[in-house]
Amino acid sequence: PPHLSPDMVSSPPCSLSSLPLSSSVRYFVKMAWAWTFCLLLPFIALTNYHLTGKAGLVLRRLSTLLVGTAIWYICTSIFSNIEHYTGSCYQSPALEGVRKEHQSKQQCHQEGGFWHGFDISGHSFLLTFCALMIVEEMSVLHEVKTDRSHCLHTAITTLVVALGILTFIWVLMFLCTAVYFHNLSQKVFGTLFGLLGWYGTYGFWYPKAFSPGLPPQSCSLNLKQDSYKK
């Protein structure tokens, strides 16, 4: 779970950590990739098949979710290892009395200690990456034209509303994380990893031939892809 930064000891009484639903909110954010995955899966499938009519192309585009899952897993593993190798076990949250007999975070917590290391903000990373990925995939809406009386229109509209609400929540939670959790350097590194994951895929890899590809665009909207290639 995220840690309050040392400079937030005197945070205002209305801070996120004091809210009755604080643990529920943090758990919801911890599952950010799962929520994003579950909504983008049907959205990408429906919109891309509606525009291309090619099941193979739809499957190729759905592989962006597998890439996103790999990025999430690799980055969170890196964060965990960095916190482990830069951390020590202390007797109190004030970082007093190093307990050298405990060499891992899990062992430290089990024995009632407090582990302190360079804890890159996983929330800053994940919320940044998820929000940007949703925005990229929803760019396909410029091309989607459906009959209002058709069930496909209802399904896509429902998914668009749900993704819009989810993006708003991710931005709000990102701001809460920026104010109440971690120190500045931990939040900056987390956000940079999120930006790197987004640009490395949608900005660098996906415009290339051997990739999941960008969302379908007409010739008039290919300027975005061309600018990426440049």
Instruction: Identify any residues that bridge with 88 across adjacent strands, giving them in sequence order.
Output: 116
Q: Would you say residue 50 lies in a domain? A: yes
- Listing DSSP states for 81-121 in one string gives HHHHHH-EEESSTT--SB-TT--SHHHHHHTT-EEES----
Q: Note whether residue 218 is domain-resident.
A: no
Residue 226 included in any domain: no
Our CA dihedral for 197, 106, 87, 118, rounded to 10 degrees, sits at 30
130 within some domain? yes
pLDDT at 6 over 90: no
DSSP conformational letter for 145: -
Rounded to an integer, the average pLDDT of 179-194 is: 88
Query: In this predicted model, what pLDDT tens digit does every residue of 40-97 receive, in sequence order?
Result: 999 999 999 998 889 999 999 999 999 999 999 999 999 999 988 888 888 777 777 7
Question: Angle at Cα 228 formed by Cα 227 and Cα 229, nearest 5°?
Answer: 90
Based on the structure, what is the number of domains in the chain? 1
To the question of pTM greater than 0.85 for the whole model, the response is no
Residues catalogued as catalytic: 123, 182
Which pLDDT belongs to residue 2?
A: 47
Q: Which domain holds residue 203?
A: 30-87+119-213
Q: Is residue 145 in some structural domain?
A: yes
Could you tell me if residue 102 is inside a domain? Answer: no
Q: Which 3 state secondary structure label does DSSP give 230?
A: coil
CB count, 10 Å around CB of 173? 21
- Per-residue pLDDT tens for 130-147? 999 999 999 998 888 877
pLDDT band at 200 (very low <50, low <70, confident <90, very high): very high
229 located within any domain: no
Alpha-carbon torsion (68, 212, 39, 66), positive or negative? negative
Residue 29, amino acid: V
pLDDT, residue 24, reads 66
pLDDT at 211 > cutoff 90: yes
Q: Of the ranges 7-16, 63-72, 117-126, which one carries the lowest mean pLDDT score? A: 7-16
